[in-house]
Structure 1
């Protein structure tokens, strides 16, 4: 990989450098291909945020431009979801991100398949290169995830010897993401009026990282259980009082230990 402002030739004779985008460079506004993609990406972030995983130095974003300069031409690709462990400078807002120059290379990039399939698997190396080629050969992101939300198919690729290798899930159908210390897997259910397959995070212990709506439901169930326990205690107390009174005993006169 090239280091910050320097350039290097890859085995495919590409000259790659990591430079700041010119102020007058117009980033393409890639449209979101369907309404499900932002919901899927937001759900991934939400559970991480609730669990306290996200730290200020991290960059977690969706449909966000990753930049590189290849053979003198700026390249920008916007994955549906990405995770960068550490950036050099914590900013409130970013228009784009240039790895190596501004911080770590993204440890995880994800694409959610839509009706317009093909770009996620494109190994086209001529300008503009395909997403697969960009993530694998230019960015060299350690993990590339392709998820088909319609059927719940999760493809988990790991970079080995500059090539993505498909990895099989464990016995629970999950993949270990070492850079995050979490498992990634699929889950089926309903959130935000969308019923179907989702990507979810699990802790090493197997605990599922919850969404806010799930925490609310857990608290509702806990409160209901507490209400039922208090009601049972009240009924038992009333029965005891009734029994004592039937025996001619005034409960108020009972000795207190």
Structure 2
């Protein structure tokens, strides 16, 4: 009986190690499930890059292999978007990333739901484990986000006592990510060829981090406002000039020399 208990315990035990990618290991080259996913991921990175948030030691990638070894078997999962605060070595290109061995554990992973079941909620623990189980129990990623682009549903899970807990947004419909110093929320509109819901970043003061096209439009509007202000100033100066000319013409018609008008300093003649 004791042997059975021991065997049962060993069958559920998780032995996790962080080892280099085997030379003969082939990362799965799965096709992108939805053409909108790369656009969503790219938009998240774009606003971070333009705002100056991204630093060389960070790793921000999409559809990129995160690796671990579980009970002697190698595992690689590719989230739709991942943020790692600091890596040990800055490389121009990476085939994959192994947390602890190569740097920090990812602080945030995101999955974008598609029309087909992609296992974003899978808690399957047998090999190969499901995505949810992999992020929650193996990598222990602090924040796991699942986003449904068609309906705009954002599920924000935070790791507490080794379990993901669903968190509600604040009064603005956003979630604070302390490790990034940014808010994450949904936004509805058009970018490139896609119209619908997007994930967007806001800074601590509540300012939206802009995309390139938005920044260009903002600069165009600022330049137009400056042009209008300059035009209004020009018109005001022109009105003052015309008013002065009319006053001079009137004084001359009255026989008064505009250049020889009495001033407050002219002494008053006593009667």
Offset, 1:247: 2.8
Deviations 1:195-246 (A, max 9, x none): 1111111111111111111111110001100111111112222222222222
The 8 Å contact of residues 158 and 167 in structure 1, kept in 2 or not, is answered as yes
Aligned Cα root-mean-square deviation (Å): 1.9
2:68 pairs with 1:55: no
Deviations 1:113-152 (A, max 9, x none): 0001350001111111111111111111010000001011
The 8 Å contact of residues 10 and 16 in structure 1, kept in 2 or not, is answered as no
Deviations 1:40-86 (A, max 9, x none): 10111111111111111110000000011112111110000000011
2:199 pairs with 1:191: no
The 2-side partners of 1:22 and 1:124 are apart by: 24
Q: Greater CA deviation, 140-149 or 193-202? A: 193-202
1:119-198 to 2 correspondence within 5 Å? 119-198=119-198
Offset, 1:87: 0.5
The 2-side partners of 1:247 and 1:137 are apart by: 86
Offset, 1:10: 10
How many residues end up aligned between the 2 structures?
244
Structure number having the greater helix percentage: 2
The 1-side partners of 2:203 and 2:249 are apart by: 57
Which secondary structure does the structure 1 equivalent of 2:40 belong to?
helix
The 1-side partners of 2:129 and 2:112 are apart by: 19
The 2-side partners of 1:42 and 1:191 are apart by: 11
Query: Which residue pairs with 2:238 in the alignment?
Result: 238
The 2-side partners of 1:235 and 1:216 are apart by: 28
Which secondary structure does the structure 2 equivalent of 1:247 belong to?
helix
Offset, 1:94: 0.2
TM (normalized to structure 1)? Answer: 0.91
Please list every run of 5 or more consecutive structure 2 residues that lacks an aligned counterpart in the other structure: 1-8, 251-257, 260-271
Offset, 1:249: 5.2
2:261 pairs with 1:248: no
The 2-side partners of 1:208 and 1:120 are apart by: 28
1:20-59 to 2 correspondence within 5 Å? 20-59=20-59
Offset, 1:11: 11
Change (3 A) 1:85 1:17: same
Say which one has the larger Rg: 2
The 2-side partners of 1:74 and 1:178 are apart by: 31
Query: Which residue pairs with 2:81 in the alignment?
Result: 81
